[in-house]
């Protein structure tokens, strides 16, 4: 017997980057996720996904509305992008000949869902969609649900975009073990499994930081702090997981982390190539060398 898990994937104020990143999943492959079984015995029944579904127009909207009605409290709602609340921003289909706002769709689908997963930093924290001056009045999914008084289990999977493993791993974990216990998530509702450690803690350039050897331009040897690296305030497992099927990651390629998994991104982690804070930095190597010269 193969169990079906209905999933609705909505794109609100989003760029499609998170949806496309998800397609790069290596293990399981996207074919396993969408067509075969995500984990043994469970098939994802993806009922609505703007980027990859074949249906469009009324057929697609009908699938969306039927899911909310027929699978009440039995499907997972994935929201990609922040939720725009100002009038005129974000519409999804029509009802009785009138456009339905994205905010209304998110509210209706969240109310009937079993659980909600916010994919990407815009959905998790507002991100780029809610960056100043935010003309659409976009808010994070968490903020939106709180404003509407909708109390449903929520997991945030931030990243700009998130690593495919962070999203597929989170969905698989929910399928295998149910919604995570409160202690498995951090204060920002991120799974500690993927976001439990600072980039800076596991960075292979950390020894350069301690020694006080800083790169002066991208690609140079040394710690990238002076070039704007936000690794010291950013929680994610990029240093050990790597990107593009394990090929490399941004600091490995000589460019600074811009803090994309943080609630502060992008307003407070930019300018991306500017030093985070101007504090005195460790220079153990230089102090040692200076001490030896003095002797």
The residue ranges that bind ligand SF4 (CB under 6 A) are: 159, 199-200, 203, 205-206, 209, 223-225, 229, 231-232, 234, 236, 238, 249-251, 257-258, 260-261
Provide the minimum distance between the beta carbon of 271 and ligand SF4 in the complex, in angstroms, as a whole number: 14
Closest CB to ligand SF4 among 167 and 209? Answer: 209
Closest CB to ligand SF4 among 144 and 166? Answer: 166
Closest CB to ligand SF4 among 6 and 256? Answer: 256
Provide the minimum distance between the beta carbon of 236 and ligand SF4 in the complex, in angstroms, as a whole number: 4
Q: Tell me whether strands 98-101 and 3-11 are parallel, antiparallel or unpaired.
A: unpaired
> Cβ of 135: how many Cβ atoms within 10 Å?
10
Beta strands in the chain (DSSP E): 3-11, 42-48, 76-80, 91-95, 98-101, 115-119, 154-157
Provide the minimum distance between the beta carbon of 88 and ligand SF4 in the complex, in angstroms, as a whole number: 32
What is the rounded CA–CA span in Å between residue 80 and residue 67? 18
Q: Which residue has the tokens 């209304």?
A: 104
Provide the minimum distance between the beta carbon of 282 and ligand SF4 in the complex, in angstroms, as a whole number: 10
Provide the minimum distance between the beta carbon of 131 and ligand SF4 in the complex, in angstroms, as a whole number: 16
- Minimal CB distance residue for ligand SF4: 231
Task: Please choose, from the candidates 263, 265, 272, the residue with its C-alpha nearest in 3D space to the C-alpha of residue 229.
Answer: 272
Closest CB to ligand SF4 among 101 and 262? Answer: 262
Closest CB to ligand SF4 among 110 and 223? Answer: 223
Query: Which stretches of 149-261 are DSSP H helices?
Result: 164-177, 192-195, 199-202, 206-211, 238-241
Closest CB to ligand SF4 among 65 and 243? Answer: 243
Write out the two tokens for 265.
Answer: 């991104």
Residue pair 165/171 in contact (Cβ under 8 Å)? The answer is: no
Provide the minimum distance between the beta carbon of 140 and ligand SF4 in the complex, in angstroms, as a whole number: 17
State phi, psi for 177 to the nearest 5 degrees: -125, 5
Write out the two tokens for 202.
Answer: 């596991």
């Amino acid at each position: 017997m193969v169990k079906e898990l209905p999933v609705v994937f909505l794109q609100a104020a989003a760029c499609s980057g998170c949806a496309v990143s998800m397609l790069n999943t290596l293990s399981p492959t996207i074919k396993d996720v969408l067509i075969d079984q995500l984990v043994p015995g469970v098939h994802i029944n993806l009922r609505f996904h703007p980027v990859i579904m074949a249906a469009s127009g009324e057929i697609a909207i009908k699938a969306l509305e039927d899911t909310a009605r027929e699978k009440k409290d039995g499907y997972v709602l994935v929201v990609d992008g922040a939720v725009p609340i100002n009038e005129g921003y974000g519409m999804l289909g029509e009802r009785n000949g009138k456009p339905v706002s994205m905010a209304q769709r998110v509210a209706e689908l969240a109310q009937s869902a079993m659980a909600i997963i916010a994919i990407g930093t815009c959905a998790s924290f507002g991100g780029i969609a809610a960056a100043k001056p935010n003309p659409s009045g976009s808010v994070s999914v968490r903020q939106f649900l709180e404003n509407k008084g909708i109390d449903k289990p929520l997991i945030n999977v931030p990243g700009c975009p998130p690593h495919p493993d962070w999203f597929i791993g989170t969905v698989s974990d929910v399928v295998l073990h149910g919604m995570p216990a409160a202690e498995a998530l951090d204060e920002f509702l991120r799974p500690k499994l993927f976001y439990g450690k600072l980039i800076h803690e596991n960075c292979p350039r950390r020894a350069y930081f301690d020694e006080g050897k800083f790169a002066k331009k991208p690609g140079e040897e040394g710690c990238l702090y002076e070039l704007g690296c936000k690794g010291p305030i950013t929680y994610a497992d990029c240093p050990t997981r790597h990107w593009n099927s394990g090929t490399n990651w941004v600091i490995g390629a000589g460019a600074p982390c811009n803090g994309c998994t943080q609630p502060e991104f992008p307003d407070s982690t930019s300018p991306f190539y500017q030093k985070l804070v101007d504090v005195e930095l460790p220079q153990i190597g230089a102090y040692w060398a200076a001490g030896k010269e003095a002797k």
